[in-house]
């Protein structure tokens, strides 16, 4: 059975239309929305709202892990366009997210198995899903005589992205899957080689619970995304092959594997 897997699509609408070619199952591990593009700062919701210079400065602050300064810089930008109320800010952002989701879900191939990324807004997905889009989050399905487990979202972080879970909540959902043959998540296990982003120059948050789960249940594969330019994209933890399927926004091609 051939799988085509993508993650971290971040607005790559045109490329995803052909991402299911020559496969038996197409899988998307989330992060459909593009808020901020580190490679092309003129792209994304923040550049649309505040301009390219804002996006470049905001990126530089986040890259330097100066998150408090980044939040103050962002607050000033919102005030600059006349938005001072948090609810109004959320309304403006949701409108932009809706614009991207409308185009993105129309482009995602069918059939498809999907789970959420940390920058996704799960509450909005039902409005845009096509009939053959199946969303799996904290669920196990039977495929080709195997058990496949799916868990979406990220962990709480200084980034304050839309879909973050407390570590204990994430761990409870993860171990609630029970043993599976293949594990699909948005975020990686906790491992410095898998977590370090060589372009953003910081460690992204990996899950210690995933590492413990792998050590306990030894799925054959663990597929994930989240870290766009990892120091290592593939490694073994015990008997499990852990594979970052790649930053689809920049790669424009899916990760393909026969299982």
d(CA 115, CA 10) in angstroms, rounded, equals: 14
28 DSSP assignment: E
- 57-64 long-range contacts (CB < 8 A, ≥24 apart) are 62/36, 62/159, 62/200, 63/38, 63/200, 63/201, 63/202
pLDDT above 90 for 22: yes
User: Beta strand pairing status for 202-203 and 139-143?
Assistant: unpaired
Measured from the Cβ of residue 238, the count of other Cβ atoms closer than 10 Å reads 12
Structure tokens at 259: 């299982």
Percent of the chain with pLDDT over 70: 100
Q: Is residue 202 pLDDT above 90, yes or no? A: no
- Mean pLDDT of the region 213-238: 97
What mean pLDDT is reported for the chain?
A: 96
SS3 2: strand
Whether the per-residue pLDDT at 180 is higher than 90: the answer is yes
Q: Which residues pair with 254 in a beta bridge?
A: none
Query: Given this model, what pLDDT does residue 154 score?
Result: 98
What integer is the mean pLDDT of 161-177?
A: 97
Residue 49 pLDDT: 95
- Residue 252 is predicted with a pLDDT of 96
Average pLDDT over residues 101-112: 98
Tokens of 240: 């499990």
pLDDT at 65 exceeding the cut of 90: no
Instruction: Write out the residue range of the structural domain in which residue 143 sits.
Output: 2-258
Q: What is the CATH number of the domain that holds 77?
A: 3.60.21
Decide: 112 and 20 in contact? Cβ < 8 Å. Answer: yes
| pTM of structure | 0.94
CB 23 within 8 A of CB 255: no
Once rounded to an integer, what is the mean pLDDT over residues 62-80?
A: 90
- Residues 144 and 15: their CA atoms lie apart, in Å, by 28
Question: Stretch 56-70: mean pLDDT, rounded?
Answer: 89
The tokens describing 213, both together, are 């789960």
Angle 50-56-62 from CA coordinates, rounded to 5°: 105
**3-state DSSP call for residue 129?**
coil
Identify the weakest region by mean pLDDT among 112-116, 148-152, 184-188, 196-200. Answer: 196-200
pLDDT at 39: 83
The answer to whether 117 and 147 have CB atoms below 8 angstroms apart is: no
Cα(16)–Cα(19) distance, rounded to whole angstroms? 5
Q: How many domains does the chain have?
A: 1
The pLDDT tens digits for 90-99 are 999 999 999 9
Long-range contacts from 126-129, C-beta under 8 angstroms, 24+ separation: 127/98, 127/101, 128/101, 128/102, 128/104, 129/105
pLDDT beyond 90 at 64 = no
Percentage above 90 pLDDT, the chain? 90
What tokens does 218 get?
A: 């030894």
Taking only the tens place, the pLDDT of each residue in 131-161 is 999 999 999 999 999 999 999 999 999 888 9
Q: Cα separation of 194 and 213, whole Å?
A: 16
- Which of 64-78, 184-198, 232-246 has the lowest average pLDDT? 64-78
Instruction: Tell me the C-alpha distance between 100 and 66, whole Å.
Output: 28
Task: Please check the confidence at residue 42 and state whether its pLDDT lies above 90.
Answer: yes
């Amino acid at each position: 059975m051939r799988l085509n897997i993508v993650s971290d699509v971040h607005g790559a609408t045109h490329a995803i239309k052909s991402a299911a070619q020559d496969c038996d199952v197409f899988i998307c591990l989330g992060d459909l929305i593009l808020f901020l593009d580190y490679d092309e700062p003129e792209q994304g919701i923040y550049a649309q709202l505040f301009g390219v210079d804002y996006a470049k400065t905001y990126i530089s602050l986040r890259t330097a892990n100066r998150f408090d300064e980044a939040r103050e810089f962002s607050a000033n930008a919102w005030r600059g366009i006349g938005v001072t109320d948090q609810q109004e800010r959320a309304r403006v952002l949701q409108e932009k997210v809706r614009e991207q989701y409308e185009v993105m879900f129309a482009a995602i191939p069918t059939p498809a198995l999907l789970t959420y990324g940390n920058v996704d807004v799960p509450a909005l997905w039902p409005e845009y899903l096509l009939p053959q889009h199946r969303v799996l989050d904290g669920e196990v399905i039977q495929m080709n005589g195997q058990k496949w487990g799916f868990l979406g979202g990220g962990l709480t972080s200084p980034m304050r992205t839309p879909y973050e879970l407390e570590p204990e909540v994430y761990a409870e959902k993860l171990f609630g899957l029970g043993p599976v043959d293949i594990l699909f998540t948005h975020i990686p296990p906790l491992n410095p080689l898998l977590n370090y982003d060589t372009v953003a120059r910081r460690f992204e948050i990996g899950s210690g619970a995933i590492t413990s789960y792998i050590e306990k249940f030894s799925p054959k594969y663990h597929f994930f995304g989240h870290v766009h330019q990892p120091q290592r994209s593939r490694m073994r933890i015990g008997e499990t092959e852990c594979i970052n399927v790649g930053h689809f926004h920049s790669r424009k091609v899916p990760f393909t594997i026969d299982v």
